[in-house]
Amino acid sequence: MSIQTQVAVIGGGPAGLAAALAAARQGVDVLLIEHQAQLHAADTLRNTNVQVLTQAFAEKVNTHPLGWRISMVTPQGMRQAFANAVVFATGCREQASLIHRYGCDAPVAETPRVPDHTLLETMRVPFDPDTGDLVCDEHGMVVPGIFCCGSAAGRADARESGEITGAAAACAVQNTNEEEEA
């Protein structure tokens, strides 16, 4: 079974939650995808147009005639969501996981947390070669329809970054809808 939404937010931490709420306040339908079993602060989403999908691991995001297709692994099997815009709020991971992936060994305690760009690496989005941060504008847009916020965008101000990015994603969807109607 697939899900159709206007904005999909991948990651339910502080930045993802802020992005989902900001987009919902703009009047668009939002799907919040979280890999954990529970979403912290889920109470804040009551009586909003945010649908929450927990225990869903976003495995792949690619273009589709409907905008973007998000392929997810859930306890029930593979699911797909289709969205006009996607906000990545995937947080950080220990750099040691990157080191281990390439066959080196390093203690986690000595490695810093770095933005988790696992999904974005396959999409050929622009990264700063010096810092590893995504290259995005002041609203968090990486490429049209793809946004990034919080530590995934190299921003320490997770909630503020999420609010700005969520609102920008909602506006992009609304502008696209207006252009199609005209």
Mean pLDDT of the 22-44 span:
89
Given this model, what pLDDT does residue 166 score?
A: 87
pLDDT in tens, 116-160: 555 655 555 556 666 656 666 676 777 778 887 877 666 777 788
Q: Between vectors from CA 140 to CA 136 and to CA 141, what angle results, nearest 5°? A: 65
Given this model, what pLDDT does residue 33 score?
A: 94
pLDDT bin (cut points 50, 70, 90) of residue 106 is very low
Which domains are delineated in the chain? Answer: 2-181 (3.50.50.60)
- CB burial of 2-26 (b: ≥16 within 10 Å; e: otherwise) equals ebebbbbbbbbbbbbbbbbbbbbeb
**Above 60 in pLDDT, residue 25?**
yes
pLDDT bin (cut points 50, 70, 90) of residue 104 is very low
Indicate the average pLDDT of the chain. Answer: 77
Count, residues in the chain: 182
In the block, tokens 């998000």 appear at 70
**Above 70 in pLDDT, residue 95?**
no
pLDDT bin (cut points 50, 70, 90) of residue 99 is very low
Mean pLDDT of the 69-96 span:
83
